């Protein structure tokens, strides 16, 4: 196994080097290759990028901030104090082995192009292209790994709120009509929250706030992975604006990449020494936030609103047509961006139908919104090794989120690997949408998932439709991910053998 490590301590003359020595000894004893970067007073000799790309795991033994840590983004990481490395280096190496094993898919995919190119290979046009793909995935995985706790905490709180407070809890908090009863909502005075909506309402509100940070955190940490700390603000603001303009997670993903790219570009500009000091604190955040914010509002925002209007009127025009076709379309839309603009059009269409007394559309919309997280959760159980450790943890939360019709539970997977995951989700949701329409299920509840099954017409068939869509999504994502990996797995195996002999 190949390991890279960084050691650093406050003074940089003693523990940094002791930890490095201890790690080198322990790695050697365990039969691993290790390269240690000592960020100490004797000057740090940086571990080459090729070594990082080829590494199976990264160890940070540091009591102070690791410099240029973005180089290691996306790698299985063990992070600890410098003393721990000195006192128990063999234990730490064992942890690195475990991290490498559990995060197995990420390093295989990431190491492939760099290993194939060889560590000393000159940068050619093709290599650069391959390299960008590798880095892109690392950037996305960084954003996803910071986002997952928000999905889990927010999503599970919302799901529990529905479970405890009943499906009307959302309307008690936000206002609106549920089951013929009109709720005023809590309004701006949150001190009345518990009195009006109960403790379930309290949980719902907390969950909703955590959830509202999902896209900003995703965008912010994608940008952070690309441009380090100065890029965080532009990324988070881009994500907040994606929320404001209803651009969803795809808007946030683009905003985060945009923010990171702008910061990376600004960093290449040579500035006088006097200005250089305030670049990372003032100039880069200011300029990048302004530029990216303006792009989000002007260039991204308007087309989304226009597309939403067009989709809505198109769906309205389809109302009279074949119910199964409508079910397929709604399913595709629900799964396309999981809470983004397209999903919202489909959901709003379902709400509109519900208000006018058509209960079938809502049933299809809800079922199709449940299968994406459920299907992915199933896939992480069936084929563990196709997912990173972070994704498998997201998979555990996704069971509850999917069952509660919280489609956002699928976002971590879609953000990390959009081109394989989103089509799989759309396929399963389309089938479920068609089946629900075909079975003639109805729903009097606008949300709540499996917990409002009492309000569903023909509940057994409804569950069958969801299970089928879930199985299809799981199968599709497993097939697509296996196809992608079979190409990359041959390469590093061959090149590793070549370097070993």
Plot region of 77 (φ>0 → left; ψ -120 to 50 → alpha; else → beta)? beta
Selected binder of another protein within 18, 61, 414, 466 (CB under 8 A): 18
CA distance to 31, 178, 369, 414, per residue, from 466 (Å): 49, 23, 9, 20
Smallest separation, CB 33 to another protein (Å) = 19
43 binds another protein (CB under 8 A): yes
Given the structure tokens 């597309």, which residue do they identify?
Answer: 307
Q: How many residues does the chain have?
A: 501
Q: Please, which of residues 125-144 interact with another protein by CB under 8 A?
A: none
Q: Does 11 bind another protein (CB under 8 A)?
A: yes
Nearer to another protein, 15 or 172 (CB): 15
CA dist., res. 453 & res. 451, Å (int): 6
Q: Which is nearer to another protein, 21 or 489 (CB)?
A: 21
Q: Does 41 bind another protein (CB under 8 A)?
A: yes
Write out the binding residues for another protein, residues 85-124 only, by CB under 8 A.
Answer: 86-87
Q: Which is nearer to another protein, 83 or 229 (CB)?
A: 83
Supply the minimum distance, in Å, between the C-beta of residue 50 and another protein.
Answer: 25
21 binds another protein (CB under 8 A): yes
Q: What are phi and psi of 61, to 5 degrees?
A: -110, 90
CB of 19 to another protein, least distance (A): 9
Minimum CB distance to another protein smaller for 32 or for 360: 32
The separation between the first and the last C-alpha atoms of the chain, rounded to the nearest angstrom, is: 15
Query: Residue 65 interacts with another protein (CB under 8 A)?
Result: no
Closest CA to 202 of 171, 173, 182, 163: 173
Which tokens is 450 given? Answer: 């499996």
Q: Does 46 interact with another protein (rule: CB under 8 A)?
A: no
Catalytic residues: 9
Neighbours of 310 (CB within 10 A): 11
Q: Does 40 bind another protein (CB under 8 A)?
A: yes
The yes or no reply on residue 179 touching another protein (CB under 8 A) is: no
Distances (CA, A) of 196 to 32, 160, 202: 61, 18, 10
Among 25, 80, 312, 385, binds another protein (CB under 8 A): 25
Q: Which stretch binds another protein (CB under 8 A): 9-17, 67-75, 384-392, 447-455?
A: 9-17
Task: Single out the segment in contact with another protein by CB under 8 A; choices: 6-14, 49-57, 103-111, 236-244.
Answer: 6-14
Residue 14 interacts with another protein (CB under 8 A)?
yes
Q: Which stretch binds another protein (CB under 8 A): 40-48, 130-138, 159-167, 440-448?
A: 40-48
E-state strands within 387-485: 442-443, 456-457
DSSP-derived 3-state class of residue 319: coil
Residues 67-86 contacting another protein, CB under 8 A: 83, 86
Where helices occur in 213-283 by DSSP H, the ranges are: 214-227, 229-244, 248-267, 273-276
Exposure on the CB side of residue 65, measured as CA atoms within 13 A? 6
Distance CA 163, CA 449 (A): 10
Shortest distance (Å) from residue 133 CB to another protein: 38
When asked if residue 183 is in the footprint of another protein (CB under 8 A), the reply is no
Q: How far apart are CA 212 and CA 151, in angstroms?
A: 10
Q: Smallest gap, in angstroms, from Cβ of residue 29 to another protein?
A: 13
Q: Do 20 and 5 touch, CB atoms closer than 8 A? A: yes
Interface contacts to another protein, rule CB under 8 A: 10-11, 13-18, 20-22, 25, 38, 40-43, 63, 83, 86-87
């Amino acid at each position: 196994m190949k390991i890279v490590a960084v050691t650093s301590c406050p003074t940089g003359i003693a523990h940094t080097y002791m930890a490095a020595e201890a790690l080198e000894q322990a790695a050697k004893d365990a039969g691993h290759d290790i390269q240690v970067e000592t960020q100490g007073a004797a000057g740090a000799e940086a571990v080459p990028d090729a070594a990082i790309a080829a590494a199976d795991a990264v160890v940070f033994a540091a009591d102070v901030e690791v410099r240029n840590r973005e180089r290691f983004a996306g790698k299985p990481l063990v992070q600890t104090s410098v003393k721990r490395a000195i006192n128990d280096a063999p234990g730490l190496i064992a942890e690195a082995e475990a991290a490498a094993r559990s995060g197995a898919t990420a390093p295989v995919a990431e190491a492939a192009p760099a290993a194939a190119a060889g560590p000393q290979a000159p940068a050619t046009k093709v290599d650069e292209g391959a390299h960008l793909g590798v880095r892109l995935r690392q950037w996305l995985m960084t954003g996803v790994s910071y986002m997952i706790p928000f999905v889990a905490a927010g999503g599970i709180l919302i799901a529990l709120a529905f479970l405890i407070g009943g499906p009307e809890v959302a309307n008690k908090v936000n206002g609106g009509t549920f089951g013929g009863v009109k709720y005023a909502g809590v309004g701006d005075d949150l001190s009345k929250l518990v009195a009006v909506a109960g403790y379930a309402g309290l949980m719902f509100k907390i969950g909703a706030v955590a959830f509202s940070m999902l896209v900003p955190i995703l965008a912010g940490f994608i940008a952070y992975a690309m441009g380090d700390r100065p890029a965080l603000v532009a990324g988070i603001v881009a994500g907040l604006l994606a929320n404001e303009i209803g651009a969803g997670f795809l808007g946030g993903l683009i905003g985060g990449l945009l923010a990171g790219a702008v910061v990376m570009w600004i960093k290449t500009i040579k500035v006088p020494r006097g200005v250089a000091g305030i670049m990372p604190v003032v100039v880069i955040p200011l300029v990048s936030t302004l530029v990216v914010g303006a792009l989000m509002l002007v260039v991204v925002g308007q087309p989304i609103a226009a597309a939403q209007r067009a989709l809505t009127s198109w769906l309205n025009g389809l109302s009279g047509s074949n119910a199964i076709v409508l079910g397929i379309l709604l399913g595709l839309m629900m799964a396309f961006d999981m809470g983004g603009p397209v999903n919202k059009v489909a959901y709003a269409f379902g709400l509109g139908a519900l208000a006018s007394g058509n209960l079938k559309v809502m049933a299809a919309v809800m079922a199709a919104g449940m299968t994406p997280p459920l299907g992915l959760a199933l896939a992480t159980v069936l084929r563990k090794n196709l997912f990173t450790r972070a994704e498998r943890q997201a998979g555990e939360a996704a069971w509850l989120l999917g069952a509660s019709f919280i489609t956002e539970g699928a976002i971590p997977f879609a953000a990390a690997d959009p081109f394989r995951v989103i089509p799989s989700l759309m396929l399963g949701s389309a089938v479920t949408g068609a089946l629900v329409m075909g079975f003639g299920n109805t729903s009097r509840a606008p949300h709540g998932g499996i917990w409002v099954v009492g309000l569903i017409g023909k509940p057994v068939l409804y569950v069958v439709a969801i299970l089928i869509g879930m199985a299809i999504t799981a199968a599709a994502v497993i097939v697509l991910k296996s196809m992608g990996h079979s190409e990359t797995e041959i390469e590093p195996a061959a090149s590793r053998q070549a370097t070993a002999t």
